[in-house]
Structure 1
Amino acid sequence: MPATGRREVLTALGAAGMLPVAGPAAAQTAAAPPAAASAPPPAAASAAAARAVESVRDAILRLSREVWTNAELSLHEVKSAAIHLRELEAAGFRTVSRGTSGVPTAFVSEWSNGSGGPRLGYLPEYDALPGLGNAAEPRRTPGPTGAEVGHGCGHNMLGAGCTGGAIALRRMMEAEGTPGTIRVYGCAAEETEGAKVYMARDGLFADLDAALAWHPAPFAGAGIVRLNALDKVKVMFHGRTAHAGIDPWNGRSALKAAEMFGIGVQMMREHVEPSARMHYIYEQAGVAPNVIPDFAQVWIILRDLDRPKVEGLTAWVKQVAEGAATATQTRAEVLHFFGTHDLLPNEPLARLLHRHLAAVPIEWTPAEQEFAKACQREMKLREAGLAAQPLPFLHEISAGGSTDVGEVSYQAPVGVFAWPTMPLGVGLHTWPVTACGGMSIGDKGSLNTARILAAAGWELMTDAALREAAKADFAKRRGDRPFKPSLPASQLRPIGLPAFMTRTADDEMVTGID
């Protein structure tokens, strides 16, 4: 790869959050030659998957476009989940559960052929992000739901590719009489309190031979990619209010406790490992400067390479909170409400996906390239357009981000790949991702990834040696540690559920009673 191409690769990886700070070491890591040459994909499987996807093309595009049009925030995805279930049921899948594992917008859907056979899981996501609503135009302009909510991470395409791949694989298996089970997990709320973590606590992935997924990116690629473990914590301080001018000595400021907590976290930074990430916001800090705040709340996210490291950070943060409360004569309350494992890569599955993504042409029309360049102009980026070639197989890429797919990867072998659905240099969680996802660029992403996922799924269903290789790699990387859920046992459901999903008839009966 020429130097210019290598720089573009690193820029794309960095924009997608898949590299640490760029530098010589990062460049060598990204450009490292593969340890073993990847075999070409079986032509028959790739061609059969292409035909199967074409036969369900309309369903895949309905999924992507309707979820994009009806963008919903995490834990609010009532319409989006229903759209996926509608298409799955129409394709012959049985709905196993709705509101799975205590998450109202999660589901499990399944189709089996014959008796026995492998079990393969697909992991569609469908939640959107706040503030990223946009029309399918290369400029900032409100979309179908205004500017408040939009698919700035491309989950409309991610979901359509995964669910579409499952539907296409069903057609292939039925045509050949291939035994096995395809299971589609409706993975709600990946952006906040991902349903996969609750499902994993219930052991819902433990019987899979493998699970497959993909994610939108500025490039096509697969490899040994690691993402961090994570904990999400709310730190609440309870003080005593008073008039800040007349008798402040009678108050105890919860805000001062929160500020001291923040200083304590800063004091930690010198002594944590370079892989650690700690970032927080003040969610509540008082209502008026002349009223001493009796309540303050901080939301902090902690990341590191694996669960033991993250658990160490979380324990330390709890000590910092207690210290801040003691120093300010307030009371600290710490709620650890969410966590994930690190993403455990699987080399046989990564190579399988890389072979199949390399078999799918990345083709753009002049109008699509101009759309991408117009987005880049708006963002004041180099007008490089859309990636037209896949990356070489990636080796030992380590990033600071996290995903609830990590929880699945500790229960079953997981394969994940990236596919271009946004301009080069554009990062996730930005408006151009929403814009591209609502037009032909996004359509191609949904269709092409469904083809890759169906072809890879077919190989897993029909190749026992491949399944055994994936399981052996999984066992080697995970070791003999028993699976320990990242969620606290006391956390029965997400804390961010909207009121309409938790209100009961008893609530209505007592409304208005003092």
Structure 2
Amino acid sequence: MTTGAVGFSRRSVLGAAAGAAVGAGLGLPDLVLAQATTAEAPAPASVGAAEAAVERHRDAILRISREVWDLAELSLEEVKSAKVHLRELEAAGFRTVSTGTSGFPTAFVSEWSQGTGGPVVGYLPEYDALPDLGNAAEPRPMPAPSGNPNGHGCGHNALGAGCTGAAIALKTMMQATGTPGTIRVYGCAAEETEGVKVYMARDGLFDDLDAALAWHPAPLAVTGEIMTAAVAQVQVIFRGRTAHAGNDPWEGRSALKAAELFGTGIQFMREHLRSTARMHYIYESAGVAPNIVPEFAQIWLTLRGQDRAEVDALLEWTKQVADGAALMTQTTAEYELFHGMLDLLPNGPMIALAQAHMAARPPVWTEAEQGFAKGCQKEMGLPEAGLATTVLPVMGPLRVGGGTDVGDVSWVAPVGIFGWPSFGIGTSLHTWAVTACGGMSIGDRASLDTARILAGMGYDVMTDAGLRSAAKADLEARRGGVAYAPILPADRKIPLRLPDWLHKAGGDEVVSFASEEG
């Protein structure tokens, strides 16, 4: 494949690569270059059957994408969006294994089986939206007709539709050929915040998979040896003593001053970190009025490293900084690791499989869709390059600075993942333009295209024992004898920021996979 479409650059290619790594790291430095291979495999025999099966279930796939786009529910609150997926799965003959899975009220597991034994293939739909990215399906910034301020600025409406639609289409393909096996759909709640995949991996829910399959919206069609960072999410709280800041400030002990010293300590750390490390934070609470000595301050800290060991070292050091800031201000520090994600392990056989299915049917767009994308690009001050129409050669190896909860899945099962165009070249994820494109026929096409790719990939995994063995061998080689050990603390049973109104629904309604054939 060539990369001669208008608007391609090192930065746009790398941005697409990060999109393929589930939206984990756009805006990569131009100094980081990917090595691309150019060999192309013949089109898999399953492409035609996958295309026909997706067309048969076209209406259901588009219902998922459009309804979830309209709902645009935030992370940990995707109650109705999860039900849309379950409704279509149940209508297609899938059995709901669990809801409220792994402590997330909006997560679920659904499956369908045929025959005795057989491989197990999992799909990873996401469906959470982002705040302040609501937009009409128009090529300009415009509030959504519903007035909902939230929007699918990461394209999860189409992501979810492609994954769940692929599972439904794969069932049709397997029934037509009598292929034994199990299709499992994991409702992956809250990817944008405290992704449930980490909890699911810790609970062993991916342990029996022969492959886990997913895609992510991107500006280009790409897959490859893309490695994301390991990540830790930390809440740091300082508690002091309040006092009147004018009359008797000596009676107070400022939690804000402790927080400021903590931030200063983080800045002084940076000089001595490896280039693969990242640290960023926000002050979530820093007092209520300047004439009151703040007795409470709260910081949200994110730490990233190339692997678990680097993140562990950052955790230890930043905790020492928090303790030191508390000592200097005679306050107390609470340092809580509340979420973490391992680095993503690519899988060679799964990359080749995804590339073969992508290349078999490159993206095709109407003139109106190209015009819509160009309109978005014009509004954003970007080159009016439109939508990508080629599939890039396999990328990599490439290490990016962002992280994804698919990383934990990749440590226990072979993962096949790719990026597919659902917005214009050069456009960044987490923008209004992604929301706008996802709400019209661009999002529809991306949902159907990716369902076809993922259904074909799933069928090949189900029917090719050599592929399954090679994928598992590749995973073992990349793990290098290191056992899966989540960064997520063992005592963290539900997400830290779960809304109060959902706490009672936080446990599994069905706690394990049923043993009978379904």
Normalised by the size of structure 2, how large is the TM-score? 0.94
Q: CA deviation at 1:4?
A: 8.1
Question: 1:6, CA displacement in angstroms?
Answer: 8.5
Aligned 8 A contact 2:7 2:385 in 1: no
The AA in structure 1 aligned to 2:457 is A
Secondary structure of 2:75's partner?
coil
Residues 82-123 of structure 1: CA deviation (Å, up to 9, x unaligned): 000000000010000000011110000000010011000000
1:3 positional shift: 8.1
- CA distance in structure 2 between the aligned counterparts of 1:21 and 1:33, rounded to whole angstroms: 21
Match of 1:146 in 2: 147
Tell me the residue number matched to 2:511.
none
Provide Cα deviations, 1:259-283, integer angstroms capped at 9, x if missing partner. Answer: 0000000011001100111110000
Structure 2 CA distance for partners of 1:19 and 1:411, relative to 1, 3 Å:
farther
Distance 1:492 1:305, change over 3 A: same
SS at match of 2:46: helix
Instruction: Call closer, same or farther: CA 1:286–1:19 in 2, change over 3 Å.
Output: closer
How far the C-alpha of 1:256 sits from its partner, in A, is 0.3
SS at match of 1:334: strand
Contact 2:242 2:253 in 1 (8 A): yes
Equivalent residue number for residue 303 of structure 2: 302
Query: What aligned pairs does 1:113-512 form with structure 2 within 5 A after superposition?
Result: 113-146=114-147, 148-502=149-503
The amino acid of 1:425's aligned partner reads G
Partner of 1:59: 60
Could you tell me how far 1:360 is from its partner in structure 2? 1.3
Give the Cα–Cα distance (whole angstroms) in 2 for the partners of residues 20 and 61 of structure 1: 33
Maintained 8 Å contact 1:127/1:151: yes
Distance 1:324 1:369 in 2: 54
> By how many angstroms is 1:181 displaced?
0.4
CA deviation profile, 1:323-347 (whole Å, cap 9, x unmatched): 0000111000011100010111001
Q: Structure 1 pair 6/145, CA: closer, same or farther in 2 (3 Å)?
A: closer
5+ residue gaps, structure 2, are 20-24, 506-518
Structure 1 SS opposite 2:213? strand
SS of 1:20's equivalent in the other structure is coil
Offset of residue 413 of structure 1: 0.6
- 2:42 aligned partner: 40
CA contact (8 A) 1:130 1:149 kept: yes
SS in 2 for 1:486: coil
Q: Is residue 221–residue 392 contact of structure 1 (8 Å, CA) maintained in 2?
A: yes
Letter in 1 for 2:194: E
Alignment partners' CA distance in 1, 2:356 and 2:144: 36
Check if 1:22 corresponds to 2:30. Answer: yes
Q: Partner amino acid for 1:243?
A: H
Report Cα offsets for 1:413-463 as digits up to 9, x if no partner.
111000000011101000000000000000000000000000111110000
CA distance in 2, matches of 1:175, 1:7: 41
Q: Is the 8 A contact 1:18 1:398 kept in 2?
A: no
Relative distance call for 1:14 and 1:41 in structure 2 (3 A) is same
Aligned to 1:511: none
Give the aligned residue type for 1:148. P
Q: Deviation digits for residues 8-65 of structure 1, max 9, x if unmatched?
A: 3532433743573113xx34x24x335xx332122x3000000000000000000000
Rounded to whole Å, the distance in 1 between the matches of 2:469 and 2:70 is 41
Aligned residues: 497
Report deviation, 1:309: 0.8
Cα contact 1:133–1:145 (8 A) shared by 2: no
- State the structure with bigger RCO (CA 8 A, min sep 6), 1 or 2: 2
Instruction: Report Cα offsets for 1:378-399 as digits up to 9, x if no partner.
Output: 1111111111111111121211
Shift of 1:361: 3.0
Structure 1: where are the runs of 5+ without partners?
A: 505-514
Question: 1:470 is aligned with what amino acid?
Answer: A
Q: Aligned equivalents of 1:33 and 1:77: distance in 2?
A: 40
Structure 1 equivalent of residue 78 of structure 2 = 77
The whole-number CA distance in structure 2 between the counterparts of 1:257 and 1:121 is 46
* C-alpha distance in 1 between matches for 2:3 and 2:322: 51
Q: Distance in 1 between matches of 2:104 and 2:67?
A: 22
SS at 1:368's partner residue? helix
Query: Which residue identity lines up with residue 156 of structure 2 in the other structure?
Result: H
- The CA distance in 1 between the partners of 2:354 and 2:304, in whole Å, is 27
- Provide the C-alpha distance between the structure 2 equivalents of 1:144 and 1:490, rounded to a whole number of angstroms: 43
Which whole-Å deviations, capped at 9, do the CAs of 1:143-168 have from their partners, x for residues lacking one?
A: 14425211000000000000000100
1:268-302 CA distance string (max 9 Å, x none): 10011001111100000000001000000000000
The two structures, once aligned, show a CA RMSD in angstroms of 1.5
Cα distance in structure 1, aligned partners of 2:145 and 2:498: 24
Contact 1:18 1:397 in 2 (8 A): no
- Partners of 2:134 and 2:196 lie apart in 1 by 23
CA, structure 1 residues 428+70, in 2 after alignment: closer, same or farther (shift >3 Å)? same
Give me the whole-angstrom Cα distance separating, in 2, the residues matched to 1:186 and 1:414: 16
CA deviation string 1:352-385 (max 9, x = no partner)? 0011011113111111111111101111111111
Question: Matched residues, percent identical?
Answer: 63
Aligned partners of 2:476 and 2:160: how far apart in 1? 28
Contact 1:201–1:485 (CA under 8 A) maintained in structure 2: yes
Question: Aligned to 1:200, what secondary structure does the other structure show?
Answer: helix
Choose 3-12 or 399-408, whichever is displaced more.
3-12
Using the alignment, how far apart are the partners of 1:225 and 1:285 within structure 2? 38
